[in-house]
């Protein structure tokens, strides 16, 4: 079984066995949750962390990362051609106010992602490679109900031993629908940054403050835990100059990346009837 599939089943099993069941005031759904869930996987040695226990839409997380790197916040600007995943979070002007890439590149008055690359080019041993998505002036700590606040709210990039490692910090993860796509997307970002900096990708780490399963997913979770015959992990090969092409929202880049991953990807049967709880 692929290493990531094994880790995923272990996390789901722990949540269902050890988690606390309680109602969410915001959604009206019961969740089973545990605090402080963490995993790490060495992409170079253990393969790309794309779940094969069920199908994850490849074009969704590939296009999303290109959209993030481009720093835009309108789904109509490139993203919607591939996925409508962010359409539930737009305002009347069709803008996602918390779009991660926009916050990385423009929102705080500086290009955090560009500065990260410049820093690690000049000082590869730096421990200051922190990107922040959460805006304390706008997000959280309020009874005012927003349609969306960032779930992955910060990540850190380190180059250790000539390999680029990414640690993703997540306040809340829907372990059935959100988590697998988040992991694949940020692991892809790790590969893109490693290519840009001319180093090898290393360990991807993912830490969740609140890891949960919704009550309408319990049957799906039991099915995922019971599946045995997952396929081997894939190895992603990036086209040349991926970062620069992503900044330009290159549609041919998206097609090349989707094809490279899809040609290797052989997931088990989809689980139908899953719905995002908003």
**Integer Cα distance of 158 and 150 in angstroms:** 22
Calculate what percentage of the chain has a pLDDT beyond 90. Answer: 90
**Integer Cα distance of 96 and 147 in angstroms:** 10
Which residues contact residue 20 at a Cβ distance below 8 angstroms, ignoring those fewer than 6 apart?
32, 33, 34
Read off the tokens for 31: 């969740």
Confidence grade of residue 278 (pLDDT, cut at 50, 70, 90): low
**What φ, ψ does residue 247 adopt, rounded to 5°?**
-60, -30
**Integer Cα distance of 151 and 154 in angstroms:** 9
In 3D space, the residue among 191, 183, 179 whose CA is nearest the CA of residue 69 turns out to be 191
- Report which of residues 143 and 85 the model is more confident about: 85
Q: DSSP of 103-137, one letter per residue?
A: IIIIITSS-HHHHHHHHHHH-TT-S--EEE---TT
Query: Is 25 a residue whose pLDDT tops 90?
Result: no
- Report which of residues 202 and 273 the model is more confident about: 202
**Paired residues of 131 in beta bridges:** 155
**What φ, ψ does residue 116 adopt, rounded to 5°?**
-60, -45
CA 157 to chain centroid, in Å, comes to: 15
- Structural domains in the chain, sorted by start: 3-262 (3.30.572.10)
Q: What is the pLDDT of residues 2-18, one digit of tens each?
A: 999 999 999 999 999 99
Which residues contact residue 219 at a Cβ distance below 8 angstroms, ignoring those fewer than 6 apart?
none
Confidence grade of residue 111 (pLDDT, cut at 50, 70, 90): very high
State residue 143's pLDDT score: 62
Q: What is the pLDDT of residues 207-224, one digit of tens each?
A: 999 999 999 999 999 999
Q: Under DSSP, is residue 52 helix (H, G, I), strand (E, B) or coil? A: coil
**Paired residues of 32 in beta bridges:** 21, 213
State residue 223's pLDDT score: 97
Q: What is the pLDDT of residues 159-206, one digit of tens each?
A: 999 999 999 999 999 999 999 999 999 999 999 999 999 999 999 999
Mean pLDDT of all residues in 69-78: 98
**Paired residues of 263 in beta bridges:** none
Annotation says 272 is catalytic: no
| Active-site annotation holder among 50, 113, 151, 159 | 151
Query: Is 145 a residue whose pLDDT tops 80?
Result: no
In 3D space, the residue among 169, 222, 161 whose CA is nearest the CA of residue 32 turns out to be 222
**What φ, ψ does residue 81 adopt, rounded to 5°?**
-65, -20
**Paired residues of 207 in beta bridges:** 38, 169
pTM for the model stands at 0.96
């Amino acid at each position: 079984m692929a290493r990531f599939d094994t880790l995923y089943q272990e996390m789901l099993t722990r949540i269902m066995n050890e988690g606390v069941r309680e109602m969410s005031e915001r959604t009206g759904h019961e969740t089973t949750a545990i605090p402080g869930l963490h995993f790490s996987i060495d992409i170079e040695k253990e393969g790309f962390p794309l779940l094969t226990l069920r199908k994850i839409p490849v074009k969704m997380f590939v296009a999303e990362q290109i959209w993030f790197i481009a720093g835009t916040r309108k789904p109509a600007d490139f993203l919607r051609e591939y996925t409508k995943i962010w359409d539930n979070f737009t305002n009347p002007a069709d803008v996602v106010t918390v779009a991660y890439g926009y916050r990385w590149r423009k929102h705080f008055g500086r290009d955090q992602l560009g500065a990260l690359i410049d820093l690690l080019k000049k000082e590869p041993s730096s421990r200051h490679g922190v990107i922040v998505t959460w805006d304390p002036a706008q997000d959280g700590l309020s009874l005012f109900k927003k349609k969306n606040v960032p779930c992955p709210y910060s990540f850190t990039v380190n180059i250790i031993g000539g390999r680029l490692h990414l640690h993703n910090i997540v306040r809340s993860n829907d372990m059935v629908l959100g988590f697998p796509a988040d992991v694949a997307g940020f692991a892809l970002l790790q590969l893109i940054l490693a290519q840009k900096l001319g180093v090898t990708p290393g360990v991807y780490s993912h830490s969740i403050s609140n890891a949960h399963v919704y009550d309408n997913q319990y049957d799906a979770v039991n099915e995922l835990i019971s599946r045995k015959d997952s396929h081997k992990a894939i190895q992603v090969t990036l086209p040349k100059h991926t970062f620069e092409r992503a900044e330009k929202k290159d549609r041919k880049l998206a097609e090349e990346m989707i094809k490279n991953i899809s040609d290797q990807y052989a997931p088990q049967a989809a689980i139908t009837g899953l719905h995002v709880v908003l």
